[in-house]
Amino acid sequence: MALDIGSETHGDFRVLRLNGRLDTETSADFELAAHDLTSAGESKFIVDLSGISYVSSAGLRVLLALAKQMSKGGSLRLCGLAPSVRQVFDLSGFSKLFSIAPDLNAALADGGVTAAAPTPALSSAAADLLGATQAPASPAAPPAASPQVGRQAADLLGARSAPKPGLFARILAWFKGQ
């Protein structure tokens, strides 16, 4: 499914209206559009997600990359998240990383915007989970995997840990040398 990207200017803000799905197939289109605008000097964005019915980790990664770029002297606000999209943001912790308004008017007025208060640990974990971190300086020294990031990824994906085997099963495994 295609992603439609509308763009208009409201005062100092460039409003990007997205319609469709923001997933693996379409996130590159949004990333390219955002890159073109930032390269042209745009630095204040409102991304209207009211037309988005689904967002995947690839879509979250592009939004996170744009937010990271705007943290160096710009502004990014999101608005119009459908309940299912808002749930993805809430479960992944991304609601704390972005300024989110209920609609475009609230985002433009800066009223109703839930201010983002990201913690460095949450921001780092989200970036790690989505592969948006910088590559290590030396290819011979890969970053150490954090058990916490693994648990957060499993929680995000809804994975359940396997039940611990009972005493009898553990004794039997010990006898078998496993």
Whether pLDDT at 155 is above 60:
no
Instruction: For the chain, list the domains and their CATH numbers.
Output: 4-118 (3.30.750.24)
Calpha distance 76→165 (Å, rounded):
48
Calpha distance 16→96 (Å, rounded):
21
Residue 73: CB atoms within 10 Å: 7
Residue-wise pLDDT tens digits, 38-66:
999 999 999 999 999 999 999 999 999 99
Calpha distance 152→3 (Å, rounded):
29
Q: Are 119 and 140 in contact (CB under 8 A)?
A: no
With a pLDDT cut of 90, the percent of the chain lying above it is: 52
pLDDT (mean) for 113-118: 48
Q: Are 76 and 108 in contact (CB under 8 A)?
A: no
List the beta strands (DSSP E) in 23-171. 44-55, 75-79, 99-101
Burial class (CB in 10 A: 0-12, 13-18, 19+), 49: buried
Which residues does 136 contact at the CB level (< 8 Å), separation at least 6?
142, 143
- As a dihedral over the C-alpha atoms of residue 83, residue 154, residue 123, residue 117, rounded to 10 degrees, the angle is 40
pTM for this model (two decimals): 0.64
